Amino acid sequence: VRFAPSPTGYLHIGGARTALYNYLFAKKMNGKFILRIEDTDLERSRPEFEKSQLEDLKWLGLTWDEGPDKGGDYGPYRQSERISIYKEYAEKLIDKGLAYYCFCTSEELEAMKEKATREGRLPHYEGKWKNEEFWEEARQRLASGEKASIRFKAPFKSYVLQDEVRGRVVFPEGMVGDFVLIRSTGLPVYNYCCVVDDMLMKITHVIRGEDHLSNTLRQLMIYEAFGSSLPVFAHVSLLIGKDRQKLSKRHGATSVSLYREESYLPQALANYLLQLGWSHPEEKDIFSLDEVSQIFDISRFSKAAAIYDLDKLKWVNGQHLRKQDIQTLVEQAKKVLPANHPFLAMNSNWQEKCLSLFKDQVNFLSELEGVLDENVFTDKINDSEKLQEILSWDSTQIIKTKLKEFILTIDADSLSSEVVEEWMSYFKSQNIKGKNLFMGFRACLTGKDHGPELKDLIPLTPLEIVKKRILSL
C-alpha cells in the first residue's frame, strides 16, 4: 500500500486518516507501507511542506518501509524525480496507438468546450490529432522542436469497479473523452503518473478518500492500456462537520501541525481519526495503534460520511492523557506550562501528587494552568450565592474562627492530609457534622463551594494562600 501526499500545504487530518488506514492494513497483512511524494505541481510544491508532512506522520506514530528519506527497490519516491519514467511509458502507449501527440492551443480547446456546451454535450476532445492520418505530421513537428502534450485515446465503453467500500461502481460509456497524460511542459498529470507509480511499485491495495472515486475511471483505462492487473480499491468515506458540510476551518483545526501546537497527544488524534469511517470489532472507543494493527480489517469501513466532532476528540485526548503514568504527565506538563508558573518550582513529589489529583479535570495539558490557578495558586474568594449562604451559617462561623487559630500556628511543612483530617475530627467532636461540616470546612479553606477532595487539595496549596483566603472571609 502507499500514502502519496502532495507537498502543497500542511498535512490535512483527512490525509492523516488515510495514511493511518494504509499503515495499519500493511501491518495487519505483513505487507509494505510506501510513502510517495506527489510533487509534480512545481508551482505550489514546497520542501518545507514535505518536511512538515513527514514530521507529522512520524509524530502520529507512523513509519514507512520505503520512501524519499529511506529509499527502497522501487524509487525514486518523489514524482519530480521520475519524469523520465513517465515519458518512457507514455511513449509505449503512443507506439501501441493508445495515445498521441496533440498540438492544440488553449484557444482551440476552449472553442471545443464552448461548442459542446452549446449543443448540450459533454466537452470531449474533438481535435484533429486523435486521427492517425495526422500522427506523422505530429512526429515531424516534434522533430522540428515544437512542444506537444500527450493525450490518451479513451475507449468508448463502460467500466465496472468492485470497490471494497462503495461496492459495485459503474462508469457508463462516454463519461470522459481523450485526456492529457503529459502536458506540453513535460509534466505528467495526476491520473497518469499515479497509475504508472502504483503499477511499477507493485501496489496491491489503494486505500484513499471517496473524493478520488471520480479519478478512478481514467485510471482504470490506463491500467487496461498497459495490460496491468488492477489493485484492490477501497474509497473511504469523507470527513464532514456536525453541520454535515465539507470539513473546513470553521469546524476546528484541519491540519495535523495545529493539533501538535495545541498539545494534543498523537496517540489520541490517531485513535480518534481511526474511528471516523472505521469501527473497532469490539466497539472500543479507546485503543492504541499497536493494538489495532493486529485486528485492522478493511471490511469494517463505513460508506457513510464520518462526522468530525471536536468535542469527542477532546474527550478521547483526555482518556489517553489519564492512561499515562504520572512521571510522564509531569514531564509533559513542564513543557506546556509557562516558564514562570509556580508548578515548576515545586518538588517532584508535590508535582506528581498534584497531577494525580487534577488529571481527571483536564482533557489536555494546556488546560492545566487554568485548573491549577483556580484551585491551588489563588487567594481569590468565589462570590457565588451558594458560597455566601454557606458562610452565613452559624456552624461555618465557628469553623472559620477555629481554623484561623489552627492555620496561624502551623508551618508549611506540617500541612498534610493527616493534619486536615485531624481538624475535621476536631469539629466532629464539637458536634458539627454532615454538610455543615464538609461545606463549611471547604468554604473556609478554599473560598469555594465545591472542588477536589480537601485532604488531597489543601496539602498541595501553599500555606500563605490558605492564610490569605481565611483571613479575607
What are 79-106's pLDDT values in tens digits?
A: 999 999 999 999 999 999 999 999 999 8
Instruction: Examine the residue annotation and report whether 249 is marked as an active-site residue of this protein.
Output: yes
Which cell numbers in the block locate residue 322?
A: 489519564
**189 touches 181 (CB < 8 A):** yes
| Helix (H/G/I), strand (E/B), else coil: 62 | coil
Give percent of the chain above pLDDT 70. Answer: 99
Cα distance between residue 428 and residue 392, in whole Å:
19
- CA–CA dist 43, 82 (Å, integer): 17
Provide the β-strand partners of residue 159: 171
Give the pLDDT confidence score for residue 368 in this predicted structure: 94
The percentage of the chain sitting over the pLDDT mark of 90, rounded to a whole number, equals 88
According to the model, what pLDDT value does residue 249 have? 61
Catalytic residue among 130, 202, 249, 386: 249
CA dihedral 374, 375, 380, 386 (to 10 degrees): 100
Tell me how many helices (H) and strands (E) the chain has. 20, 11
The CB density around residue 134, as the number of other CB atoms within 10 Å, is 17
List the one residue out of 173, 180, 172, 178 whose CA is nearest residue 124. 178
Question: Which of 360, 367, 425, 362 lies closest to 399 in space, CA to CA?
Answer: 425
User: Tens of pLDDT along 290-320?
Assistant: 999 999 999 999 999 999 999 999 999 999 9
CB 432, CB 440: distance < 8 Å: yes
Q: Which helix (H) or strand (E) is 51 found in, with range?
A: helix 47-59
Measured distance CA(127)–CA(149) in Å, rounded = 13
280-293 in b/e form (b: 16+ CB < 10 A) is beeeeebbebeebe
* Per-residue pLDDT at 244: 83
Alpha helices in 276-336 (DSSP H): 289-293, 310-323, 326-336
Whole-Å CA distances, 378 to 109, 373, 396? 71, 6, 21
**φ, ψ (nearest 5 deg) of residue 97:** 75, 20
Q: Is 70 exceeded by the pLDDT of residue 67?
A: yes
Strand partners, 233: 206
Q: What is the pLDDT of residue 247?
A: 77
Distance CA 86, CA 79 (A): 9
Q: Which of 75, 69, 97 is nearest to 153 (CA)?
A: 97
CA 195, 151, 120 angle in degrees (round to 5)? 105
Tell me the pLDDT band of 414, cut-offs 50, 70 and 90.
Answer: confident
- Which residue, 21, 115, 60, is CA-closest to 306? 21
| pLDDT value at residue 252 | 63
What does each C-alpha distance from 84 to 60, 76, 79, 108, 396 come to in angstroms? 34, 11, 10, 29, 85
Confidence band of 172 (pLDDT split at 50, 70, 90)? very high
Mean pLDDT of 156-168: 97
Q: For the whole model, what pTM was predicted?
A: 0.89
pLDDT, residue 88, reads 98
Locate the DSSP E strands across 80-203: 99-102, 149-152, 159-163, 167-171, 179-182
Residue 137: predicted pLDDT:
94
How far is 52 from 209, CA to CA, in rounded Å? 21
* All cell numbers assigned to 42: 512545481
Pairing of strands 99-102, 149-152: antiparallel
In angstroms, how far is the first alpha carbon of the chain from the final one?
Answer: 67
pLDDT at residue 250 in the model: 65
Q: b/e map of 233-268 (b: 16 or more CB within 10 Å)?
A: bbbbbbbbbeeeeebeeebbbbbbeebbeebbbbbb
The Cα 34–Cα 37 span in angstroms is 10
Distance CA 371, CA 376 (A): 8
The helix (run of H) or strand (run of E) holding residue 471 is: helix 463-472
Residue range 327-355, pLDDT digits in tens: 999 999 999 999 999 999 999 999 999 99
Q: Residues 344, 345, 350, CA angle at the centre, nearest 5°?
A: 85
Each residue's pLDDT tens digit, 207-258: 999 999 999 999 999 999 999 999 999 999 999 988 888 876 666 668 999 9
Pairwise CA distance, residues 56 & 51, whole Å: 9
Is the pLDDT at 409 greater than 70? The verdict is yes
Q: Are 5 and 37 in contact (CB under 8 A)?
A: yes
Q: Is 462 helix (H, G, I), strand (E, B) or coil?
A: coil
Instruction: Name the pLDDT band for 58 (thresholds 50, 70, 90).
Output: very high
- Yes or no: say if 343 and 372 are a contact pair by the CB < 8 Å rule: yes
